[in-house]
Structure 1
Amino acid sequence: MKRLLLILNCILLSIGNCGGPLIMRLYFVHGGKRIWLSCWLETVGWPIMLIPISIAYYRRQRRQQTNGQAQTKFFLMKPSLFISSALIGLLSGVDNYIFANGVARLPVSTSALIIASQLAFTAGFAFLLVRQKFTAYSVNAIVLLTIGGAVLALNTSGDRPQGESNKEYIKGFLMMVGTSALYGFILPLVELTYKKAKQTITYSLVLEFQMVMCLFATIFCTAGMLINKDFQAIPREAENYGIGETKYYLVLVWSVIIWQAFFLGAIGVIFCVSSLQSGILIAVLLPVTEILAVILYKESFKAEKGVSLLLSLWGFVSYFYGELEQTKKTTQKTPETEITQTPDP
């Protein structure tokens, strides 16, 4: 069951990680200007989580009725875990705002590769917060993926969008580095919260955690939208959108769905494995985003992007080769444990 959950969350994370930046950039490319609206769309889909939470509740209820036990609660979270998820949600709201600022100013192929630096921040914070253990292969992968993102800084204005000033481009570059650092802190913080929780962490609880996080991130972004009067601007922006009013609203709706897939996948992978694994997966998916951005948006592919892409792929191969070797050693040492292990409920 846990392996199936891991596969499912990896798929969700892959869809969100590749599709999220692409559809956000689509909004800006065709005339969208609202930063607060863009970051609001990342988490406003939190009510979607009520569907799987409800399914999990009815399954628990039916099982407990069969066993003659008392009825279960709809929400499992204790107050301490709720407060933790709310605070992390507010941090996520800040991170979403910084990220939207970066995507508004940079081509996706550039911003995607800068995000590779997030892995170094995730690794550092994972070591400090949850005492993450490293192998030679994982260290090699972290170094390569981080250098791959840093290579882009050698030519920071080489692919500046037409009509954008050098100052705005550099601001976008710094924003993307900032969002990498903050989200690199959030991932291990989620793992630490799981470890310190005063209740057993099940996947049902992970769904609730995700919903509360997105709820409070949405509250933060909604406040920004109200101050900036973004809600009133949506109809006007839709009328003047480059590819039509109907497609404008389709972009908004798909943004909500795709970003929910990303956030659920990210914390789901943390639940199944670790925050470092989630960070690694985000980093290794960046070449896919890079290639899609070049194909879909006709973005330039210069030498530094090619070097960055190769380093990212090298880091990807290094990490997963190390994981395979580690799995082989573990299996050889403890074959009996592998057979008798029971799946996580």
Structure 2
Amino acid sequence: MNNHKQNTTTNTTAGTTAPATAKVSPAAKNTLLILNCVLLSIGNCGGPLIMRLYFLHGGERVWLSSFLETAGWPVIILVLAVLYFDRRRKNTNTKTTFVYMRPRLFFAVAVIGILTGLDDYLYAYGVARLPVSTSSLIIASQLGFTAFFAYVLVKQKFTPYSVNAVVLLTVGAAVLALHTNGDRPEGESKKAYVMGFVMTVGASLLYGFVLPLIELTYNKAKQEITYTLVLEIQMVMCLFATIFCAVGMFINNDFKAIPVEATEFGLGETKYYVILCASALIWQCFFLGAIGVIFCASSLLSGIIIAVLLPVIEVLAVVFYKENFQAEKGVALVLSLWGFASYFYGEYKFAKKLKEKTRSSQQSMELGQAYISSV
């Protein structure tokens, strides 16, 4: 799907080095891409809703919410263990490697993990102060930041179709801005609302930087990028993000406050802990899907999927939290779907053109060989 990823390490026309990715059949890679798109969709839609549910019924711990965004990382250990034993079963004659990540890549991913932890806190702070529809609207600006940093960091090549997609999705977010007046939650001060707004913009900008940074890390890894390695990257990134947020929780005495908050939670103590666990798992789907899409395609596509799901989150907020649904949200939904279709049509055209070019080259080689043979 991505026009600058190759199966071997090469220099692109833009002057960047593409990562050495494992040889995977187009069908397998497309299946993997679809799977990661589904994971990203589940996390992107479910994460904000369940986080807001925590705050609506008495939850007040921002550091705890940010901690939960990456605390589900141990699940990846189980997946990596299954993959390891499967490799070990198939490769009986050779020594099976358990960890693929080299120290150079580990330290780079650790830094990205700390940035992700900071982004988690900024986002959780915004969700605590803003309605889901408003925070999602602000996060939509992330696509613009992703496109900018993708161009700066990885020299992302833009086609008329991808530019059209970015413009349509950005306009869709701007249309949603028309209904934000007067949506300040009842009983919340203007200062707290503004702080929530600013923090969410910061989260949008920072994650717009993190997505291309992950792609740049793939490009500069100097080792073969397999999906197993992608899972290791996800695990290390989330581990350091979780450690960062755990330090904040410790300083803020959140660990001591959890049992007290559970007993006072509006939906009951049992549902309080269910919400915490579900939040960790759903957000893990988001992060795993995001870096998986980057592996299969690009950081720009990951940003586009996040943006195109904005109206879906808006609709879900209306259904579950009775937030108002104005005509602007319907217009934004149409623009988002249009932008999404534009991007994939452009990718389809590129793939078709590449296929025709490859076929033409093969025919030229065959004709040349036939001529040499006849001579």
Task: Settle same-fold status: TM greater than 0.5.
Answer: yes
Give the alignment's TM-score, normalised by structure 1. Answer: 0.92
**Partner in structure 1 of residue 224 of structure 2:** 200
| Cα deviation digits, residues 152-182 of structure 1 (max 9, x gap) | 4455442111111222222222222211111
**Partner in structure 2 of residue 103 of structure 1:** 127
1:205–1:337 Cα change, 3 Å: farther
**Partner in structure 2 of residue 223 of structure 1:** 247
**Partner in structure 1 of residue 60 of structure 2:** 33
Matches within 5 A, 1:76-95: 76-95=100-119
Matches within 5 A, 1:95-244: 95-154=119-178, 156-244=180-268
CA distance in 1, matches of 2:124, 2:273: 18
Q: Note the aligned Cα RMSD (angstroms).
A: 1.8
CA distance in 1, matches of 2:257, 2:181: 31
| Cα deviation digits, residues 41-90 of structure 1 (max 9, x gap) | 0111111110111111112222221xx22x22311110001001100000
**Partner in structure 2 of residue 21 of structure 1:** 48
Pick from 36, 45, 50 the counterpart of residue 9 of structure 1: 36
Q: What letter matches 2:311 in structure 1?
A: P
**Partner in structure 1 of residue 303 of structure 2:** 279
CA distance in 2, matches of 1:336, 1:258: 46
1:336–1:104 Cα change, 3 Å: farther
CA distance in 2, matches of 1:307, 1:173: 23
In the alignment, structure 1 residue 300 sits paired with structure 2 residue 324: yes
CA distance in 2, matches of 1:166, 1:154: 19
Q: What letter matches 1:272 in structure 2?
A: C
| Cα deviation digits, residues 245-275 of structure 1 (max 9, x gap) | 1111110010011011110010011111111
Deviates more, 1:83-92 or 1:329-338: 329-338
Partners of 1:159 and 1:300 within 8 A in 2: no
How many percent identity over aligned positions?
67
Q: Secondary structure at the match of 2:187?
A: coil
Moved beyond 6 Å, runs of 4+: none
CA distance in 1, matches of 2:359, 2:288: 32
CA distance in 2, matches of 1:237, 1:136: 52
In the alignment, structure 1 residue 49 sits paired with structure 2 residue 76: yes
CA distance in 1, matches of 2:206, 2:174: 17
Partners of 2:179 and 2:326 within 8 A in 1: no
In the alignment, structure 1 residue 245 sits paired with structure 2 residue 269: yes
Matches within 5 A, 1:59-74: 59-65=86-92, 68-69=93-94, 71-74=95-98
**Partner in structure 1 of residue 290 of structure 2:** 266
Q: Secondary structure at the match of 1:43?
A: coil
Partners of 1:114 and 1:150 within 8 A in 2: no
| Cα deviation digits, residues 81-126 of structure 1 (max 9, x gap) | 1001100000000000000011111111221122111111111111
Q: Which ranges in structure 1 are unaligned for 5 or more consecutive residues?
A: 339-345
Partners of 1:156 and 1:170 within 8 A in 2: no
Partners of 2:149 and 2:208 within 8 A in 1: yes
CA distance in 2, matches of 1:203, 1:78: 15
1:275–1:179 Cα change, 3 Å: same
How far did residue 227 of structure 1 move?
0.4
Partners of 1:269 and 1:277 within 8 A in 2: yes
1:61–1:149 Cα change, 3 Å: same
1:42–1:286 Cα change, 3 Å: same
Give the alignment's TM-score, normalised by structure 2. Answer: 0.85
User: Aligned pairs, how many?
Assistant: 335
How far did residue 5 of structure 1 move?
1.4
CA distance in 1, matches of 2:258, 2:74: 21
1:166–1:7 Cα change, 3 Å: same
Report which of the two has the higher share of helix. 1
Larger Rg: 2
How far did residue 216 of structure 1 move?
0.3
Q: Secondary structure at the match of 2:143?
A: helix
CA distance in 2, matches of 1:155, 1:15: 26
How far did residue 4 of structure 1 move?
1.9
CA distance in 2, matches of 1:337, 1:9: 33
Q: Which ranges in structure 2 are unaligned for 5 or more consecutive residues?
A: 1-27, 363-375
CA distance in 2, matches of 1:311, 1:160: 26
